[in-house]
A and B are shown apart, each in its own frame.
Chain A
């Protein structure tokens, strides 16, 4: 596709369950970011993949969060044992190096 896509668009899960969020970046983009945005808040950096380098995981809030990027393309963000404070919109973005960054539509996660 022409843009960054994310799935699912909405996810409602029970506290304690695991969830997987998917991001399909723009083809050829070497950089991929995950951000989290709570209602009315800014963009909280989670993780950054750049080419074949080791990912920058410095923003992951706890060891319940992990992410991988397979084949330099699709990325999956996994949250284990979800908590209510994990409820937010999870945004994926991709770019070619340091150039402009394109955001996906986000996944709205609600933990009940």
Chain B
């Protein structure tokens, strides 16, 4: 069945450092979505990528969708304490399947 792998599981960075999480699907996706979950909260949609090779930016966040539409990454430049939380990718093959998430902690 459709599987989505996400690494790393956990990242602890100094404020101001960059952060990247990677996502890989076992099948070709029609789109990939990224979500952020704060402690005690529910996942909140960040962005959706649809096209092969697509790159989108939201302020300090850069999202990429691979050429084969099987992998994706989220890069945060100069992390801030407000970036803490768990970042999930979710790949849509025939349904939306989530990666395990990357927990980001930021040390100030």
B33–A100 touching, CB < 8 Å = yes
Tally of A-B Cβ pairs under 8 angstroms: 47
Nearest chain-B residue to A47 (Cβ)?
Answer: B95
Nearest chain-A residue to B44 (Cβ)?
Answer: A103
**Residue A56 lies at the interface, judged by CB distance under 8 Å to chain B:** yes
**Residue A65 lies at the interface, judged by CB distance under 8 Å to chain B:** no
Q: Which of A33, A48, A58, A91 contacts B42 (CB 8 A)?
A: A91
Nearest chain-A residue to B30 (Cβ)?
Answer: A98
Of the listed residues B44, B94, B96, B101, the one surrounded by the most CB atoms of chain A closer than 10 A to its CB is B96
CB contacts (< 8 Å) of B19 on chain A: these are none
Nearest chain-B residue to A35 (Cβ)?
Answer: B98
CB contacts (< 8 Å) of B101 on chain A: these are 42-43
A102–B95 touching, CB < 8 Å = no
* Contacts A91-B42, A103-B44 given; does A42 touch B95 at CB 8 Å: no
Residues of A within 8 A of B (CB): 31, 33, 35, 40-43, 45, 48, 50, 56, 58, 91, 93, 95, 98-106
Can you identify 5 A-B contacts, CB atoms within 8 angstroms? A35-B98, A42-B99, A42-B100, A43-B98, A101-B96
